[in-house]
A and B are shown apart, each in its own frame.
Chain A
Amino acid sequence: KAGVTQTPRYLIKTRGQQVTLSCSPISGHRSVSWYQQTPGQGLQFLFEYFSETQRNKGNFPGRFSGRQFSNSRSEMNVSTLELGDSALYLCASSWTSGGTGELFFGEGSRLTVL
């Protein structure tokens, strides 16, 4: 059974650019959550999508957005990149909404903003 797949794994951008990250959940999982992980802050919740609807959102500025497609694949977008956006972005899928069960994480997309 394939796991959660995130692309790209690594990327380097400059300030002011935008970036789109992709996440394909485990087959059958309808919930996709996104987290930002940095050494100082740990795992910070960005948002969760379930059946193409955003169910919950963390305390991030509007530059961070996401969407989910009918096949449960999800993308997140960060516009007008700042140096502080450099982080590991983790996607996690789950059977149910609200993170009510186990989260299965992808390997992450490591973003470096120069």
Chain B
Amino acid sequence: QKEVEQNSGPLSVPEGAIASLNCTYSDRGSQSFFWYRQYSGKSPELIMSIYSNGDKEDGRFTAQLNKASQYVSLLIRDSQPSDSATYLCAVIGDTGGFKTIFGAGTRLFVKA
């Protein structure tokens, strides 16, 4: 089992729709969770962090965390073509020492 799992996609949504990206993790002791966005040919950049159960909103982005289910999600409201990118879920676990582990990423396409 991979430490951080994501559906590789691609996920295709029309402009203006809600894009829902999901991630599960295996280390139950994980405490910190992040979503990074990576445009093609570019390096990842942080868009959201979440540390406690529930929802965290930042503009059009909402991160959701459920530690009991070991599940993290990212919702993008009013999706724009500029949101087309690969979204990487990242988790800091303590198995074998604290380190940031990334999922393989979900490719999102927003159609105009």
Residues of A within 8 A of B (CB): 33, 35, 41-43, 45, 48, 55-56, 58, 90, 97-103, 105-108
0/1 string, B54-81, CB within 8 A of A gives 1: 0000000000000000000000000000
Q: A98-B97, A100-B92 are in contact. Are A42 and B43 (CB under 8 A)?
A: no
Min CB–CB distance A51 → chain B (angstroms): 15
B43 touches A45 (CB 8 A): no
Residues of B within 8 A of A45 (CB): 99-102
Q: What are 20 A-B interface contacts by the 8 Å CB criterion? A: A35-B102, A41-B104, A42-B103, A42-B104, A45-B99, A45-B100, A48-B99, A56-B97, A56-B99, A58-B99, A98-B99, A99-B99, A99-B100, A100-B92, A101-B32, A102-B46, A103-B36, A103-B100, A105-B44, A107-B42
Q: A42-B104, A43-B102, A108-B43 are in contact. Are A102 and B92 (CB under 8 A)?
A: no
Residues of B within 8 A of A (CB): 32, 34, 36, 42-46, 49, 88, 90, 92, 96-105
How far is it, in angstroms, between the C-alpha of A105 and the C-alpha of B34 when the chains are bound? 14
Residues of A within 8 A of B92 (CB): 98-100
Q: A42-B103, A42-B105 are in contact. Are A99 and B43 (CB under 8 A)?
A: no
Min CB–CB distance B56 → chain A (angstroms): 14
Residues of A within 8 A of B36 (CB): 103
Residues of B within 8 A of A33 (CB): 99-100
Q: Secondary structure of the A side of the interface?
A: mixed
Residues of B within 8 A of A56 (CB): 96-99
How far is it, in angstroms, between the C-alpha of A75 and the C-alpha of B92 when the chains are bound? 23
Residues of A within 8 A of B88 (CB): 42-43
Task: Report the nearest A residue to B101, measured CB to CB.
Answer: A45
From B44, B90, B99, residue with most partner A Cβ within 10 Å: B99
How far is it, in angstroms, between the C-alpha of A42 and the C-alpha of B104 when the chains are bound? 4
Task: Report the nearest B residue to A6, measured CB to CB.
Answer: B43
Task: Report the nearest B residue to A103, measured CB to CB.
Answer: B100
Task: Report the nearest B residue to A94, measured CB to CB.
Answer: B100
